[in-house]
Amino acid sequence: MFGRDSRRERLAVPVLAASRRLPVVLFMSISLIFVLLDKAEADAFDEAREAITDVTTPIFETLSPPVMAVREFFGRVFNIFEVYRENERLREENRELLAWKDAALKMEHRLTRLEALMNVQLEPSVGYVTGRVISDTGGPFVRMFIVNAGKRDGVRDNQAVIDEDGLVGRILGAGHKSSRVLLLSDLNSRVPVLVEPSNYRAVLIGDNERDPKLEFLSSAAKVQVGDRVVTSGHDGQMPPGLPVGRVSEVGKNGEIRVQTFSRGDHTEAVRMLSYKFAEPDVLDTPDRAADVSVSEGESPDDGAGE
């Protein structure tokens, strides 16, 4: 029963197992070293991420439309049952909106008159690029998706991303023809906001929960459930006044959460906003002149931009 062969086999098994285990342990160690490197240098792998996103974009552009079409079909089927109620709701809303339109037109008229009186410098208009969402969030602790618009279309890092309901997030990394969008609920998302109507300053911080939380709010600030939250533009990246969401929860321990207007479940197309802050004209001119004379050949925008 226990011949020489079987003994040799019993010896061979652990040796074989060890020879298989060694590379696994080696590669696991390398993986952990990568994690540590990523922790030490946050943008160490950004170029690789952008390159791989660009490479896989054609695959997702092929795979996504049929899936989206099926989703849309089922969405429509379910919508049929809602048509009557939806119609009633829209009619009601339309009635209200007409009153608002009237008010807005009056305000606009007053505003242009006052601006003309005060000689206000108008901010440059906000440009936008539209992109289609071609991938979903993958990891359980990352809220991110990929859009099929990149640097060649004018998308840049940190641009605000909106859908028809409000702010979705910002551009995390713009590749050549695709970009990664970081959602408001992601762990790395930080957006300076204002809480209306008193315009309290705060920062909207994602913690991987559905509703991000408000922090760095002054202790004197009185925030109630239902208060509207908009971007403040204090980061110098996003246009001020973009609708973000409503305060949904004010906890006893001071934790305030915001339900975002954008629910992220039907964001098939999103817009990336390019926005440049108005620079004060009068102060800017001598600076630029100095810059041009100091840095030879470089574009004057590089020096004066920040």
Partner 1 sequence: MALASSDNLRKYFWTAFPSLSTLFCVLLSLVPFGLSSTILAPPNFGLIAIFLWTLSRPDLLPSSIVFLIGLLQDLLWGGPFGLWAFVFLAGYGLTLSQRTFLIGREFGFTWVGFGLVVVISSLLAWVVTMLFHGQWLAPYPAIVQGVLSAALYPLFARVTPWFVVRIAREV
**Closest CA relative to residue 163, chosen from 176, 147, 141:** 147
Token pair, residue 274, equals 């390019």
Dihedral angle at the C-alpha atoms of 89, 92, 96, 97, nearest 10 degrees? 60
Q: Which is nearer to partner 1, 265 or 281 (CB)?
A: 265
State the binding string over 124-143 for partner 1 (x if CB under 8 A, else -): ---------xxxxxxxxxxx
145 binds partner 1 (CB under 8 A): yes
- In the list 1, 48, 77, 220, the residue contacting partner 1 (rule: CB under 8 A) is 48
Q: Applying CB under 8 A, which part among 56-64, 108-116, 153-161, 270-278 lies near partner 1? A: 56-64
45 binds partner 1 (CB under 8 A): yes
275 binds partner 1 (CB under 8 A): no
Provide the 3-class DSSP secondary structure of residue 12: helix
Number of residues that bind partner 1 (CB under 8 A): 55
- In the list 8, 10, 101, 263, the residue contacting partner 1 (rule: CB under 8 A) is 263
Minimum CB distance to partner 1, residue 239 (Å): 25
Q: How many residues does the chain have?
A: 306
Q: How many of the other CB atoms lie within 10 Å of CB of 123?
A: 13
CB 230 within 8 A of CB 162: no
Q: How many of the other CB atoms lie within 10 Å of CB of 155?
A: 24
Minimum CB distance to partner 1, residue 13 (Å): 9
Sheet-wide strand order for 167-174: 127-132, 269-274, 160-162, 167-174, 179-183, 144-147
44 binds partner 1 (CB under 8 A): yes
Minimum CB distance to partner 1, residue 209 (Å): 6
Token pair, residue 105, equals 């037109």
Task: Kindly list the residues in this chain that would bind partner 1 in the complex (CB under 8 A).
Answer: 17, 20-21, 23-25, 27-28, 30-35, 37-39, 44-45, 48-49, 52-53, 56, 59-60, 63-64, 67-68, 71, 133-146, 172, 180, 187, 207-210, 263-265
